[in-house]
Structure 1
Amino acid sequence: MEQQIARMQKHLAEVPDMFRDRGEEETARRPAPGKWSAKEILGHLCDSAINNLARFVRAQTEQPYALIPYQQDEWVKAQAYQARPAFEIVQLWSSLNRSVVAVMAAMPPAACEHACILADGTTVSLRWLMEDYVAHMEHHLGQLSRQLGQG
């Protein structure tokens, strides 16, 4: 988990800078109809953190742990990220992911191999789930960087 923790700490340091000195109009701009704005992408990552933080805790104590999927587009709409100030979403994202890092750092090594059952019935380890979480985050952070003209 050390590698995932280090990658997340790097992102925790960098993401606030991506939004610093950006106007609300720029962060709310959608690149195309039906596509998320920068605020909505970061909001989606907040929703991912909310769901995965609970998964990472529960998978340590409930075996096997069956993941419950969530409706990503509906969560973004329900959270109204597009209408919220960007700095507020950045703070939420940062706080949630500091909690994710704390859970990763405190997790007993044996828990890494706990079974997690995906919606399609596939069984993966908790380690795999955490690695996938970081990869998913980095995919969307790459989108953010391109959308905000930083990549």
Structure 2
Amino acid sequence: MESELFDLEKLKFPIGEFQKPNLITTDNLKNWIAIIEEFPSKVKLLTENLSVKELNWIYRPDGWKIKQLIHHCADSHMNSFIRFKLALTEEMPIIKPYEEDQWAELQDGLADDLSASVLIIEGVHARWVYLLKSFGEKELKRQFIHPATNKISTLEETIGMYAWHCNHHLAHIEQALLYKGQF
């Protein structure tokens, strides 16, 4: 396939970039939590029968392989779960960022066996959703600071961001499968 036929931004963001609503409603939160809850089963369904060749398909030119996307989601969602717990137990903590591109290139991020990362995703999401469903208004308004941007984020907006993150990477996997990694 000729990559000039593809819009690189559309390949990077097949569902668009995250757009935080001006007002986060109870319905937004319920929908976002449902997306986070369903993510592990959707990942498993999309990847459980893939060959090693298919796991190495990329979703865009210079993009990650399917296997890297799965390992990244395990890494990212573990970090997010910890950030939620920090925000719930500390006053406006400064969270610890990590170099996701470098993590994706470590040996565990390149492993063809997805089983450990899928188990991490299943376990983290089960605990995360259990925690999210317990939130009242006070917990939703808890905040943390990202030191790279000095941005203050509330937990309620971060729930939306990670629901988007789930759908964003599911769309990447579907894209890689649709185009058979031919970029």
Match of residue 107 from structure 1 = 135
2:178 alignment counterpart: 149
Determine if the alignment matches structure 1 residue 87 to structure 2 residue 87. no
Question: What TM-score results when the alignment is normalised by the length of structure 2?
Answer: 0.72
Residue 52, structure 1, aligned to residue 80, structure 2: yes
**Alpha-carbon distance between aligned partners in 2 of 1:124 and 1:22, rounded to the nearest angstrom:** 37
Root-mean-square deviation (Å): 2.1
Structure with the largest fraction of helix: 1
- Structure 1 residues 31 and 3, CA, compared in 2 at 3 Å: closer, same or farther? closer
The percentage of counterpart residues that share the same residue type is: 21
Shift of 1:31: 5.2
**Closer, same or farther in 2 for the Cα pair 1:25/1:145, shift >3 Å?**
same
Which one scores higher on RCO, CA 8 angstroms, separation ≥ 6? 2
Instruction: Report the Cα offset of residue 137 of structure 1.
Output: 2.1
Code of the residue aligned with 1:134 in structure 2: it is A
Deviations 1:33-60 (A, max 9, x none): 6421101011111111111010011101
Please, which of 81, 88, 96 is the counterpart of residue 68 of structure 1? 96
How far apart, CA to CA, are the structure 1 residues paired with 2:60 and 2:45? 24
Structure 2: give runs of 5+ residues left out of the alignment.
Answer: 1-28
Change (3 A) 1:16 1:60: same
Larger Rg: 2
Distance 1:34 1:104 in 2: 35
Q: What's the counterpart of residue 43 of structure 1? A: 71
The 1:92/1:149 distance shift into structure 2, 3 A limit, reads farther
User: Offset of 1:79 from its aligned partner?
Assistant: 5.2
Aligned length: 150
TM-score calculated relative to the size of structure 1: 0.86
Quick one: which amino acid aligns to residue 35 of structure 1? Answer: G
Partner of 1:98: 126
1:135 equivalent to 2:167? Answer no
